Amino acid sequence: MTASKTPANSGGGFCAACGAALSPGAHFCHRCGTPFGQGAAPAPQTAPAGSAASILPWGVAFVALLALVAMFAGRNFGAAKGSGVDGSANSLPTQAMDGPAAGGQGGPAPNIGDLSPSERANRLYQRIMTYVQEGKVDSVAFFAPMAMASHEMLEGPTADERYHFGRIAEVTNNSAVVRAQADTILKQDPTDLLGLLLAARGARMERDTKGATAFDRRLLDALQAQLATGRPDYELHRGEIDRAVEDARGGK
C-alpha cells in the first residue's frame, strides 16, 4: 500500500472546510474528511490555564450576571403575592416609623451607631409590626432576621423586650422562639400578662389546644390584678391584651 501523501497535522488546528478541531498527527478531518493540507486554519493562541487572560472573560461575565440579578431583584423586591410594595424602598428611614429625626422635614436620618442596643431592637420591632399591619410581607421577611439578631444581642432584656422578640418570631412562624420567650417571662412572673398571651399564641401555633386553653385561663385569672399595677408595657400593648382576653373568653 502506498503511503499517503497527505501531510500529517503536527500542531493541531482547525479544518478549513467545516471548522472542526483537528488532532495533532491527523491526516484528515474526522468530521468532513477534508485532507489536512487543504487549508487547515492554525490553532488559536490560548493563554495558559489559570492566567489572568484566561480568567478575565469569565470574571467579566460573572460580574455582569450579578449586576443583572441585582437590577431585577431591586426592581421586583416586594412583588410577591400579597404585597404590592417594593421592599427595598422600605429599608430607608421614614418619619412615620423611625420618629421625627428620620429624614425629610423631620431632620436627618438617625445614625444607628448612636442608638443603644435596646433602641435599635425597639425600632426594628416597631417597623416590623407596622409592616405586618399594612400587609407588607416582603418587608417583614427582609427586616425580621435583623430584628431577631438585635434582640438576641440584648443583655438582660426586659419582659417587654422579650415579648417583642416573641412577637417577631410569631409573625415569622418560629414557634420555638415564641414559647422560649414566653417561658422565660413566666419564670420571672407567672402572672405576667404579656408572657401568658405570648405562651397561648405559641401553643396555638403548635396546635396545642390544651396548652393554649390553660394559658388563657391563667390570663383571665391574673388580668385585673396585673392591670391594676399600671405597668407601662401593659398600656403600650393594651390592644393586644384586650384581643387575647376576647379570645380566651370566647374559648378560641
Q: Determine the Cα–Cα distance for residues 107 and 88; give it in Å rounded to an integer.
A: 22
- Give Cα separations from 243 to 49, 208, 248 (angstroms): 67, 19, 9
Q: Note if the pTM is more than 0.75.
A: no
pLDDT of residue 102: 43
pLDDT > 60? residue 105: no
Range with the largest mean pLDDT of 66-80, 125-139, 199-213? 199-213
pLDDT in tens, 130-165: 999 899 988 898 989 999 999 999 999 999 999 999
Out of 1.20.1280, 1.20.1070, 1.25.40, 2.20.28, the CATH code matching 156-249 is 1.25.40
The residue among 184 and 7 whose pLDDT is bigger is 184
Domain ranges of the chain: 156-249
How far is residue 160's CA from residue 158's CA, in Å, rounded to a whole number? Answer: 5
Cell of 170: 410569631
For residue 15, name the pLDDT band (cuts at 50, 70, 90): confident
Residue pLDDT, tens place only, 23-44: 676 667 766 667 766 654 444 4
CA 25 to CA 10: how far, in whole Å?
A: 5
Q: Which residue has the cell 386553653?
A: 213
Strand, coil or helix: what is 22?
strand
